[in-house]
């Protein structure tokens, strides 16, 4: 009987198919584009990601994540190929995905094992931003998924917040607006459920101690287990030799007192096969490209996961 299980989040770094979409800036990820994104390279990416996902939490639960939020997915093609892959097909995953207005065409998505998670509904929330020229700055939507996890209703908010392009301070207001939008989503959840189980996950492009998360997202209703990892100088992504805890899973306090689903711990999934093996990048996530050189890795981020225990009542 399954008692301990995991959930996860993974920024998979540019999972594009090889076809050009005239509505998005994806030309680099085509066979004739900058990255010479052929079917062979695409299939290698699918196989690598499916291997990574299949091993998340496996040592402690004998099962990949019951559900996993994803970032940097171009479209349903990649998701279908991912869940149909040899390593993931046995677990009968399904997915939730909406096309967002992001200029590059990358979205968030949600995979779930149908045996353990029953999808009730999903929705997207659009983040409206303007650039320095007052024109619309198109970015990823935030995804809300509600479902029954072992017959207990949970709400999952999947994020990929605006990047730090232009500098951390200059872009901070964009992530603050994203945090405010998440608060609006939480308010909508509370209208439906007075005491909800909420999980906020994503690549926030900010750390647990950053302004957007510490001062705008977090409150007494939530705990952020990734703060302890940050304090231990760990991270999910490495940039210019420094680790950053950008990928996080934040949970509502209810998971500490819930009589059915109890939060145990959170971790970074950084097994050796996901790491650069040598050189100055040793230990960093083994990414698909270094510049335009295709090294055929996994992602420039490590996945993060959280363990829960299912309490069996007579």
pLDDT along the chain (314 residues), means of 10: 90 95 90 96 98 96 97 97 98 97 94 97 95 85 97 96 88 95 98 96 97 97 96 94 96 91 96 92 94 95 97 64
How high is the pLDDT of residue 44? 98
Q: What are phi and psi of 166, to 5 degrees?
A: 90, 0
Q: Give Cβ neighbours of residue 53 (< 8 Å, ≥ 6 apart).
A: 8, 10, 64, 65, 68, 82, 87, 88, 111, 303
Among 195, 185, 154, 194, residue whose Cα is nearest residue 306: 154
- What pTM does this model have? 0.97
- Domains defined for the chain, CATH in brackets: 4-310 (3.60.10.10)
How high is the pLDDT of residue 143? 98
How high is the pLDDT of residue 71? 98
Answer for the pair 213, 202: CB distance below 8 angstroms, yes or no. Answer: no
152-160/197-203 β-pairing: parallel
């Amino acid at each position: 009987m399954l008692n301990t299980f995991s959930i996860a989040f993974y920024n998979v770094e540019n999972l594009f198919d090889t076809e050009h979409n005239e509505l998005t800036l994806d030309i680099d990820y085509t066979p004739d584009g900058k990255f010479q994104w052929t079917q062979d390279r695409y299939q290698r990416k699918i196989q690598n990601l499916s291997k990574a996902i299949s091993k998340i939490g496996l040592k402690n639960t004998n099962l990949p994540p019951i559900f996993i939020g994803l970032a940097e997915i171009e479209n349903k093609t990649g998701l279908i190929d991912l869940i149909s892959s040899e390593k993931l097909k046995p677990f009968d995953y399904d997915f939730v995905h909406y096309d967002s207005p992001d200029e590059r065409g990358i979205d968030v998505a949600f995979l779930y094992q149908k045996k353990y998670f029953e999808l009730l509904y999903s929705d997207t929330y659009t983040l409206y931003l303007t650039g320095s020229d007052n024109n619309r700055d198109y970015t990823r939507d935030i995804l809300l998924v509600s479902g029954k996890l072992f017959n207990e209703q949970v709400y999952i908010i999947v994020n990929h917040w605006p990047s730090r392009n232009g500098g951390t301070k200059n872009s901070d207001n964009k992530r603050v607006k994203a945090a405010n939008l998440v608060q609006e989503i939480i308010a909508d959840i509370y209208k439906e459920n007075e005491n909800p189980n909420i999980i906020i996950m994503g690549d926030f492009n900010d750390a647990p101690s950053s302004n957007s998360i510490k001062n705008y997202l977090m409150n007494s209703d939530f705990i952020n287990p990734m703060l302890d990892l940050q304090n231990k100088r760990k991270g999910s992504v490495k940039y210019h030799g420094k680790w950053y805890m950008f990928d996080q899973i934040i949970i509502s306090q209810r998971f500490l007192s819930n009589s059915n689903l109890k939060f145990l711990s959170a971790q970074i999934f950084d097994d050796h096969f996901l790491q650069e093996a040598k050189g100055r990048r040793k230990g960093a996530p083994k990414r698909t490209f270094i510049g335009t050189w295709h090294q055929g890795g996994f992602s420039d981020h490590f996945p993060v996961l959280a363990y829960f225990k299912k309490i069996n009542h007579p």
